[in-house]
Chains A and B, each alone.
Chain A
Amino acid sequence: MIPLLKHIFRTGILTETVALAEGGPQREIDRLHDEILRILGRALTIREVDAGSCNGCELEIHALNNPYYNLEGRGIKFVASPRHADMLLVTGPVTKNMENALRIAYDCTPDPKLVVAVGDCGCDGGVFGENYASCGAIANVVGVDLRIPGCPPTPLALMQGILAAVSKRSP
């Protein structure tokens, strides 16, 4: 236990204050947290749905929870069920074999819900496009509030996109 605690102390706190908007202030990340609380009245919960990605986007979504970005420490939490989610973070392209499952997940997410399409494939089908096995963009299957392009989008782009989606709901 002692070596473990020593390791933790030696590592310190690595979470970065990320400027979320271009030229934004250092405290932008705290503003994001306040913004989410103001708009939603609670922490933001996200259900991630991989509807056909190459798993590249998932690697970067995973990175959001590393100590540098520390998304969960900022009140944004990934949940296991769409029924517990405020937001669906969907990667694509939507395969025909996942079309039905994505629709069900969407229907299970309580209103008002936000849907964010992640990655070039989620935005417009990307290199795969639409074909006999692919529906292409997420928006072809469920309503999308915001798109985060990139192949894959960086964790920073993902954070900016999540904030932008929440802000769109802003009264």
Chain B
Amino acid sequence: MFLADDFPIDFTLQPGVGAPVWRGNAPSGEDLKDFAAATHLAAGRLCAMWGSDERQRGGGYRLHCVFGLNRGHAWLSLDLSADDPVYPDLAGIFPAANRMQRATRDMVGIASDGGDQRPWLRHGAWPADWYPLRHDAVHEVGMGVGFPNLPSDYDFVQVGGEGAHEIPVGPIHAGIIEPGHFRFSVVGERVLRLEQRLGYQHKGVEKLFIGADIERGARLVGRISGDSTCAYAWAYADAVEAACGIEASSRALLLRALMLERERVANHLGDLGALGNDAAFAFGLTQFLRLKEDWLRLNAEVFGHRFMMDRIVPGGVAVNVEPAALAAIVEQCAVIGSEVKKLRTLYDEHAGLQDRFVTTGTIDAALARELSLTGIGARATGMILDGRAHRHDYTPPPPWAALGVRPVTDERGDVAARVAVRFGEISESLRLLREIAVGMPSGELRVAIAPRAGGSGLGVVEGWRGEVLVAVRFGDDGKLARVHPHDPSWQAWPALEHAVMKDIVPDFPLINKSFNLSYSGADL
């Protein structure tokens, strides 16, 4: 029904008001692989992959894949036997599968039948034959008890040849930034290859969801990646609401949109400043951080939290916004809009800045599609891919459909393009914020929500960085049995490896910042 009628998979549309998600089961691993190949041919994407332990429910294990197609998302599951949980390697079709498959093996102990088998999230803090997300995986808590922490070696791909050498960076980086390891292979200053080793932020989040109630889950999901707390909270709320068969009011949906767009603007403001700074234009940092601080202070006034954590909850929102506050938001949009416009002219006309931005860190649309990239990075290659916006065959979920979101694109694919997309998205978000604030209907803020035993759902939200997904399944006891959050950084980190190739080492911070990816969001 997505691709061809002869696929032996029946898809059903998930209920609710969230992004369109079709769900189905693949009869066999070959069918899954065929579906993946057909999706790839149709220029679709691999959005997320994870595993679950179904042995307590009388099964074995289960592999879950979410594919992005023009009309929406297809959530495909594949049952695996308890004795031999192996599935076909999808990394040959979608390179983005590589790290997700390795993480799934580390976490659940189900493996692909080929390809890269190096551990990803497991650095040696727990044994290779112990899988945290299996229901019988118990561990002792406390320092000095439990597993010995034995940091293991990692088999980086080596680059040979005369003059080639390696620069190891991290896990602790030079700035105020999350930890991760970058291995550069260089000749002189030119980068031949970058290989990332992540997982340093892995703090066992997925395990913590198991057995938690809806409220506790909401607190956790808002702390997967602090800069995207609204996007995660909304995706989780969508998933829980779909699983429990309830719908948030249109007022609640618009208040969520208000918060999500404020989150987008806050992050773009900060990053545009940091991008100026990384090109030795400290003026840019100071100016944009000033605007960001004004923005966050109004957040604190209106929502009671500078980053609006815990304000989007399953069932609706946990904060009311009075008309006076909406007026303050509209007023601030006008001020920030005019300031950003002036700064954009200064950025555009600054030769030194443009010299660093233009043709630096380039990826093209074909590569972006191959890597299943979403968000700013994808739109900066000209791809019209934004879950909030209409496109051929796709109608965005409320409240976006009625707002008529205009996706911002740029075809150059370089740092300059990602800067331009961010500038454009600030203007578009300011327009949306004004429209939302002016047209805010009355209605319930939060409807009561009760867990539905055995229910499951998937939420998809266009966060500031890209597409955030959260999958939820309740157990028979009404507690969360499995939650899988997926950050767009999974797909974007490999894109960064490509973007930096052939550029010089000193351009890396700039290229890195133009994406500004989440470590915590992907390390879980």
A66's partner among B199, B219, B289 (CB-CB below 8 A) is B289
Interface string of A57-72 (1 = CB under 8 A from B): 1111111011110000
159-175 of chain B: CB within 8 A of chain A: 171-172, 174-175
Known: A52-B203, A66-B286. A97 touches B346 (CB 8 A): no
Select from chain A the residue with minimum beta-carbon distance to B176: A48
Give the most central of B123, B208, B226: most A CB within 10 Å: B226
Known: A59-B307, A93-B203, A127-B219. A101 touches B171 (CB 8 A): yes
Interface string of B269-299 (1 = CB under 8 A from A): 0100000000000010011011011001000
Give the most central of A48, A52, A126: most B CB within 10 Å: A52
Interface string of A137-163 (1 = CB under 8 A from B): 000110000000001101000000000
Select from chain A the residue with minimum beta-carbon distance to B144: A140
Q: Check if A40 is an interface residue, CB within 8 A of chain B.
A: no
Provide the bound-state CA to CA distance between A3 and B207, in Å: 54
A-B pairs, 10 with minimum CB distance:
A56-B226, A96-B125, A66-B289, A133-B204, A80-B174, A131-B204, A54-B226, A132-B139, A54-B223, A134-B203
13 contacts between A and B (CB under 8 A): A55-B178, A55-B518, A56-B307, A58-B177, A67-B293, A78-B175, A100-B151, A131-B208, A132-B139, A133-B125, A134-B203, A134-B204, A152-B307
Q: Check if B201 is an interface residue, CB within 8 A of chain A.
A: yes
Known: A65-B289, A66-B289, A93-B203. A54 touches B172 (CB 8 A): no
Provide the bound-state CA to CA distance between A76 and B225, in Å: 28
Q: Which residues of A contact B201 (CB under 8 A)?
A: 50, 52-53, 95, 97-98
Provide the bound-state CA to CA distance between A11 and B126, in Å: 53
Check A50–B178 contact: CB distance below 8 A.
yes
Check B200–A95 contact: CB distance below 8 A.
yes
99-135 of chain A: CB within 8 A of chain B: 99-101, 105, 126-135
Q: Check if B27 is an interface residue, CB within 8 A of chain A.
A: no
70-100 of chain A: CB within 8 A of chain B: 78, 80-81, 93, 95-100
Q: Which residues of A contact B141 (CB under 8 A)?
A: 129-131
A67's partner among B125, B204, B289 (CB-CB below 8 A) is B289
Check A66–B224 contact: CB distance below 8 A.
no
Provide the bound-state CA to CA distance between A168 and B229, in Å: 35
**Pair count A-B, CB < 8 A:** 165
Check A63–B176 contact: CB distance below 8 A.
no
Q: Contact residue range for chain B?
A: 35 or more
Q: Check if B391 is an interface residue, CB within 8 A of chain A.
A: no
Q: Check if A36 is an interface residue, CB within 8 A of chain B.
A: no
Select from chain B the residue with minimum beta-carbon distance to A69: B293
Whole-angstrom distance between the Cβ of A40 and the nearest chain B Cβ: 21
Whole-angstrom distance between the Cβ of B117 and the nearest chain A Cβ: 19
Q: Which residues of B contact A58 (CB under 8 A)?
A: 176-178, 226
Check B227–A51 contact: CB distance below 8 A.
no
Check A131–B203 contact: CB distance below 8 A.
yes
Give the most central of B143, B172, B283: most A CB within 10 Å: B172
18-69 of chain A: CB within 8 A of chain B: 48-63, 65-68
Check B123–A97 contact: CB distance below 8 A.
yes
118-168 of chain B: CB within 8 A of chain A: 123, 125-126, 132, 137, 139, 141-143, 146-147, 149, 151
Select from chain B the residue with minimum beta-carbon distance to A141: B143
Provide the bound-state CA to CA distance between A67 and B306, in Å: 17
Check B290–A61 contact: CB distance below 8 A.
no
- A interface residues, how many (CB within 8 angstroms): 54
171-196 of chain B: CB within 8 A of chain A: 171-172, 174-179
Check A66–B293 contact: CB distance below 8 A.
yes
Q: Which residues of B contact A11 (CB under 8 A)?
A: 287, 290
Check B179–A101 contact: CB distance below 8 A.
yes
Check A63–B204 contact: CB distance below 8 A.
no
Select from chain A the residue with minimum beta-carbon distance to B146: A132
Q: Which residues of B contact A126 (CB under 8 A)?
A: 223
Select from chain A the residue with minimum beta-carbon distance to B142: A130
Select from chain A the residue with minimum beta-carbon distance to B294: A68
Q: Which residues of B contact A57 (CB under 8 A)?
A: 226
Known: A54-B224, A56-B223, A134-B203. A128 touches B208 (CB 8 A): yes
Check B132–A98 contact: CB distance below 8 A.
no
Whole-angstrom distance between the Cβ of A66 and the nearest chain B Cβ: 4
Whole-angstrom distance between the Cβ of B517 and the nearest chain A Cβ: 10
Check A56–B309 contact: CB distance below 8 A.
yes
Select from chain A the residue with minimum beta-carbon distance to B123: A97
Check B179–A128 contact: CB distance below 8 A.
no
Provide the bound-state CA to CA distance between A52 and B349, in Å: 39
Q: Check if B519 is an interface residue, CB within 8 A of chain A.
A: yes
Q: Check if B33 is an interface residue, CB within 8 A of chain A.
A: no
Q: Which residues of A contact B123 (CB under 8 A)?
A: 96-97
217-254 of chain B: CB within 8 A of chain A: 219-220, 223-227, 229
Whole-angstrom distance between the Cβ of A121 and the nearest chain B Cβ: 8
Q: Which residues of B contact A3 (CB under 8 A)?
A: 345-346, 349
Provide the bound-state CA to CA distance between A52 and B171, in Å: 11
Whole-angstrom distance between the Cβ of A61 and the nearest chain B Cβ: 5
Check A152–B177 contact: CB distance below 8 A.
no
Whole-angstrom distance between the Cβ of A13 and the nearest chain B Cβ: 11
Q: Which residues of A contact B199 (CB under 8 A)?
A: 97
Q: Which residues of A contact B226 (CB under 8 A)?
A: 53-59, 152
Q: Which residues of B contact A53 (CB under 8 A)?
A: 178, 201, 226, 520
Provide the bound-state CA to CA distance between A9 and B207, in Å: 53
Provide the bound-state CA to CA distance between A118 and B332, in Å: 31
Q: Which residues of B contact A128 (CB under 8 A)?
A: 203-205, 208, 223
Q: Which residues of A contact B204 (CB under 8 A)?
A: 128, 131-134
Q: Check if B369 is an interface residue, CB within 8 A of chain A.
A: no
Whole-angstrom distance between the Cβ of A4 and the nearest chain B Cβ: 6
Q: Which residues of B contact A68 (CB under 8 A)?
A: 290, 293
450-493 of chain B: CB within 8 A of chain A: none
Provide the bound-state CA to CA distance between A100 and B170, in Å: 12
Q: Which residues of B contact A63 (CB under 8 A)?
A: 289, 292-293, 296
Select from chain B the residue with minimum beta-carbon distance to A132: B139
Whole-angstrom distance between the Cβ of A3 and the nearest chain B Cβ: 6
Whole-angstrom distance between the Cβ of A122 and the nearest chain B Cβ: 12
Check A95–B149 contact: CB distance below 8 A.
no
Q: Check if B342 is an interface residue, CB within 8 A of chain A.
A: yes
Q: Which residues of A contact B174 (CB under 8 A)?
A: 80-81
